[in-house]
Amino acid sequence: MLASLTTLLVFQLAGEVVPRGLGLPVPGPVLGMLFLFVALVLRGGPGHELKTTSQNLLQHLSLLFVPAGTGIMIHLHRVADEWLPLLLSLLISTAATLVVTALVMKLCMRGQTAPGEAP
Amino acid sequence: MTPQLNEIWVYLSASPLLGLTVTLLAYQAAFWLYRRSGMNPLANPVLIAVTILVLLLTLTATSYETYFAGAQFVHFLLGPATVALAIPLYMQFRRVRTMLVPVLAGLVAGSLTAALSAIAIARLFGASLPTQLSLAPKSVTTPIAMGIAERIGGIPSLTAVLVIVTGILGAVGARYIFDAIKLRDPAIRGFAIGVAAHGIGTARAFQVSEQAGAFAALAMGLNGALTALLLPLVLNWR
pLDDT in tens, B20-41: 999 999 999 999 999 999 988 8
Domain boundary among A32, A59, A86: A59
Kindly state the average pLDDT of the residues B135-144.
Answer: 90
- In sequence order, the 6+-apart residues with CB closer than 8 A to the CB of B172 are B41, B42, B44, B47
Report the SS3 class of residue A117: coil
Q: Are residues A48 and A75 located together in one domain of the fold?
A: no
Same domain, A95 and A74: yes
- Do B142 and B160 contact (CB within 8 A), yes or no? yes
Task: Check whether residue B37 and residue B129 sit in a common domain.
Answer: no
- What range defines the domain where residue A84 resides? 67-113
What is the number of domains present in chain A? 2
Tally the domains of chain B.
2
Count A/B contacts: CB-CB distance under 8 Å: 320
Q: CA-to-CA distance for B105 and B165, rounded, in angstroms? A: 26
The answer as to whether A3 is a domain residue is: yes
Q: How far apart are CA A1 and CA B13, in angstroms?
A: 32
Which of B76, B106, B134 is at the close of a domain? B76
Provide the whole-model pTM: 0.84
So what's the ipTM on this one?
0.86
Of the residues B48, B76, B104, the one at which a domain ends: B76
The pLDDT of residue B238 is above 60: no
What mean pLDDT, rounded, does chain B reach?
A: 91
* Same-domain status, A3 and A55: yes
Q: Would A118 be classed as within a structural domain? A: no
Chain A residues 30-89 with CB within 8 Å of chain B: 30-34, 36-37, 40-41, 45-46, 50-51, 53-55, 57-75, 78-79, 82, 84-86, 88-89
Residues B67 and B90 in one domain: no
Q: Give the distance from CA A92 to its chain's centroid.
A: 22
Neighbours of A86 (CB within 10 A): 27
User: Of B44, B76, B108, which residue sits at a domain end?
Assistant: B76
State which residues form the domain around B17: 3-76
d(C-alpha A60, C-alpha A71), whole Å: 20
Contact assessment for residue B169 and residue A90, using Cβ atoms and an 8 Å cutoff: yes
- What is the pLDDT at residue B106? 97
Tell me if B133 sits within 8 A of B232, measured CB to CB. no
A42 and A75 assigned to the same domain: no
Report whether B165 contacts A87 (CB < 8 A).
no
B residues 1-30 closer than 8 Å to A (CB): 23-24, 26-27
Label residue A93 by pLDDT band (50, 70, 90): very high
pLDDT for residue B237 is more than 70: no
What percentage of chain A has pLDDT greater than the value 90? 56
Pair (B57, B87) in one structural domain: no
Q: Do residue A6 and residue A53 come from a single domain?
A: yes
